[in-house]
Amino acid sequence: MKLKGKVAFITGASGGIGSAVARIFASEGANVGIAARSVDKLEALAKELKDMGRKAVVCRCDVLKDQDILDSIRSTVRELGPIDILVNCAGIVSFEAVHELPDEVWDRTMQINAKAPFVAIREVLPSMLKRKYGRIINVASVSGKIGFPFRSAYSASKHAVLGLNRSLSAEVAPHGITANCICPTFVSTVMFNESIQKWADETGKTFKEMEAELRNKVPMKRFIDPAEVAPLALLLASDDSAGMTGQAINVDGGFLQV
């Protein structure tokens, strides 16, 4: 039980990676606040976690709204206690050529992918600093390290997350708090399938053609399952990684070797 007695809060918990992280945390003893817009999915997930003997707080949360984030965190703290582990997993991706990118798409992408993690971090940090303990995990992307065509807003937002994490980790390192990023690529989720279709539309290819092209870019010649990302989150949330901070670790089948 690597997380016995710990309290975790996860945004984007209704999605593939977020829900996988919630399950593995619960399996290792954590009680979890799960936040997303889809309450039905959260309720089903909460039942799974409670069947493991854990407590789960369902938080309807639209991370476009700062107050939703604050309310969700505060609700979790009221019911479960101070948050030991924060996982910022909510995210969106957009596909537009730079010269066709509307302001509203840029702003929405930056709010969800970059500002929402900042708002959540700022809310949980005072308690972590007071207790001299905390684990902050930001789900970024290899798009935070390199660029892809038609993904400028997404790439900029993920670069921002990595930059935030670097400064944050240096700031809180003396206080028993770690901050690390997970950088997946081509993870088999609903959002990824939607991304394949959008990318295909931008390039004039079919879904199957685009899917095959992306798969062939991965040395393992396959996409990543969300369940393959969750164990890394567990490592970063546990005391096994007490000496790791400021890192941005790829889970990508060998796609990006930096």
Is the Cβ–Cβ distance between 61 and 37 less than 8 Å? Answer: yes
Is the Cβ–Cβ distance between 33 and 21 less than 8 Å? Answer: no
Q: Has 133 been annotated as catalytic?
A: no
3-state percent breakdown (helix, strand, coil) of the chain, nearest 5: 55, 15, 30
90 to each of 12, 13, 210, how far by Cα in Å? 4, 7, 25
> φ, ψ for residue 155 (rounded to 5)?
-60, -40
Residues 6+ apart with CB under 8 A from 234: 2, 3, 21, 24, 25, 28
210 to each of 189, 190, 200, 236, 238, how far by Cα in Å? 16, 16, 6, 33, 38
Is the Cβ–Cβ distance between 142 and 250 less than 8 Å? Answer: yes
Catalytic residue among 133, 154, 192, 199: 154
How many beta carbons lie within 10 A of that of residue 53, not counting itself?
Answer: 9
Residues with catalytic function: 154
